[in-house]
């Protein structure tokens, strides 16, 4: 038997590494197991998020957006940029550097906080035992009073489009293109599909998005989703709803995709195809036979609202448990679990977890949509304000989109906030904080916002709930 720990965390993604650091800060002897091998052949912390997810995709989104701005928008501001081109190889190298710096930074944080990093594949083999198989195949068993499973998730693949080495790829492969394909297909109009489609569309690809569902972004408020679809279409993304992919065939350097829609059987040819139909929990092989940790029918580890599994001293967090697969959700669960293990009271408000799509403009939301409220039988009031009426948005050349506030009609308590616009991902924090403190729209309306800012749209939307918006004509009568 190897060393004994107070806490062993399996997985060093945004849930796992945060849980490990927090536990160590609270005085617990902590180890974190990670199997991810980076491009340099060494263990890389940070999970999907830092290695092939949130961070590298945002690096490409930011670079490609700046390219579009320089090519098409600078002239409106009086900036003469000349002939602008994109060096894709250099863009990719910058992305890789950012990833390396951040993943290496976690190793430094582990050292600074006293977390023991263990390289290898972790498996829960008992209620207080974790077996780790190192990269050379040697297995070592560690003992821990508490175990936190933060194994994450992996992309879902579908039988009609089996992945190939370079033509049919998942989201990871789409981060490694060395040039913009002329014709790019994307299966799935979710967060990942829209973000990756946007990157390569900006760099010159003709992008077609095939979405099996009839509704666009059904998890987003209907008003915001409709406007987002219109804006992305304007940018050149051909989004086909109700398009169910039935098959594919690689012909030389092309991919022929068959799909069915309201018009019948269709066929389209691409130079590259990205499969982005969602993610599934990575739990296979993580829990040993006979341990007693229960999984649901979809492979998620079953937990309560404080992330306890069916085994008392075993916890699970992040993408491998219920709820949205979001890095920040995983991180907050990691902090909560570490606090609980250390004997502190801790809980998490699952009604106030924000989501962001980093297209341009960004789409962000927290809480209920109008559809959700209607389904729950809640009468609501709403207020919205367009960025077209915002002075800062005009100055930024970013007048597309709007901010929307949804409240309980009886109590005025904020039930949700939805934004499509520049910096929506930053502004949505106002909705999160407001909901966390049980604020009303009136609370936001009475707050003093700096001028000129994009956030003033949230202020005006809150005012608009009762027909008191200042910088637009109100639909409701002012009281």
Query: Which residues form the catalytic set?
Result: 451
Alpha carbon separation from 157 to 268, 274, 337 (Å, rounded): 20, 11, 31
Specify whether the CB–CB gap between 388 and 227 falls below 8 A.
no
Strand, coil or helix: what is 478?
Answer: coil
Specify whether the CB–CB gap between 394 and 415 falls below 8 A.
no
Token readout for 245 is 């992919």
In sign, the C-alpha dihedral spanning 204, 205, 206, 210 is: negative
Looking only at the bridges linking them, the beta strands covering 139-149 and 153-155 are unpaired
Closest among 55, 56, 49, 64 to 360, alpha carbons compared: 64
Backbone angles phi, psi at 122, to 5 degrees: -95, 145
Task: State in Å, rounded, how far the first CA of the chain is from the last one.
Answer: 73
CB atoms within 10 A of CB 395: 12
Token readout for 194 is 């829209």
Q: How far is CA 85 from the centre of its chain?
A: 29
Q: How far is CA 111 from the centre of its chain?
A: 28
Per DSSP, 69 falls in state: I
The Cα 316–Cα 151 span in angstroms is 8
The Cα 124–Cα 472 span in angstroms is 59
Specify whether the CB–CB gap between 409 and 340 falls below 8 A.
no
- The DSSP secondary structure of 421-477, one letter per residue, reads ETTHHHHHHHHHHHHHTT-BHHHHHTSPPPSS-TTHHHHHHHHHTTT--SSS--SSP
**3-class SS string, 254-290:** EEEEEEEECCEEEEEEECEEEECCCEEECCCCCECCC
CA diameter of the chain? 74
Token readout for 316 is 């699970």
Strand, coil or helix: what is 354?
Answer: coil
Specify whether the CB–CB gap between 427 and 420 falls below 8 A.
no
């Amino acid at each position: 038997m190897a060393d004994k720990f107070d806490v062993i965390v399996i997985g060093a993604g945004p849930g796992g590494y945060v849980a490990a650091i927090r536990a160590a800060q609270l005085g617990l002897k902590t180890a974190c197991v990670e199997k991810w091998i980076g491009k340099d052949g060494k263990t890389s912390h940070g999970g999907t998020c830092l290695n092939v997810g949130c961070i590298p995709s945002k690096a490409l989104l930011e670079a490609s957006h700046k390219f579009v701005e320089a090519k098409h928008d600078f002239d409106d501001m009086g900036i003469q940029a000349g002939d602008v081109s994109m060096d894709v190889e250099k863009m990719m190298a910058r992305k890789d550097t950012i990833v390396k710096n951040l993943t290496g930074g976690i190793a430094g944080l582990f050292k600074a906080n006293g977390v023991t990093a263990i390289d290898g594949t972790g498996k829960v083999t008992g209620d207080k035992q974790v077996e780790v198989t190192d990269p050379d195949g040697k297995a070592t068993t560690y003992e821990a009073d508490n175990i936190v499973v933060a194994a994450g998730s992996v992309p879902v693949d579908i039988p009609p489009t089996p992945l190939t080495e370079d033509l049919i790829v998942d989201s990871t492969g789409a981060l490694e293109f060395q040039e913009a394909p002329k014709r790019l297909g994307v299966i799935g109009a979710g967060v990942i599909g829209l973000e990756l489609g946007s990157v390569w569309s900006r760099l010159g690809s003709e992008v077609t998005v095939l979405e099996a569902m009839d509704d666009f972004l059904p998890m987003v408020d209907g008003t915001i989703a409709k406007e987002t679809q219109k804006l992305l279409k304007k940018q050149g993304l051909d989004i086909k709803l109700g398009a169910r992919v039935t098959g594919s065939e690689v012909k030389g350097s092309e991919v022929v995709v068959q799909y069915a829609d309201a018009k019948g059987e269709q066929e389209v040819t691409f130079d590259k195809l990205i499969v982005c139909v969602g993610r599934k929990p990575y739990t296979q092989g993580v829990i040993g036979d006979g341990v007693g940790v229960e999984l649901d029918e979809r492979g998620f580890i079953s937990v309560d609202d404080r992330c306890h599994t069916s085994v008392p001293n075993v916890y699970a967090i992040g993408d491998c448990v219920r709820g949205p697969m979001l890095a920040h959700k995983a991180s907050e669960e990691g902090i909560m679990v570490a606090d609980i293990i250390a004997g502190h009271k801790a809980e998490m408000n699952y009604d106030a977890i924000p989501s962001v799509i980093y297209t341009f403009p960004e789409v962000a939301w927290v809480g209920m949509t109008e559809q959700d409220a209607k389904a729950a039988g809640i009468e609501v009031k709403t207020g919205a304000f367009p960025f077209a009426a915002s002075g800062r948005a005009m100055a930024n050349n970013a007048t597309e989109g709007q901010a929307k506030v949804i409240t309980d009609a009886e109590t005025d308590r904020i039930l949700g906030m939805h934004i499509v616009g520049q910096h929506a991902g930053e502004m949505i924090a106002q909705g999160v904080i407001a909901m966390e403190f049980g604020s009303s729209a009136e609370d936001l309306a009475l707050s003093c916002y700096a001028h000129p800012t994009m956030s003033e749209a949230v202020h005006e939307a809150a005012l608009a709930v009762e027909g008191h918006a200042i910088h637009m004509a109100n639909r409701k009568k002012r009281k």
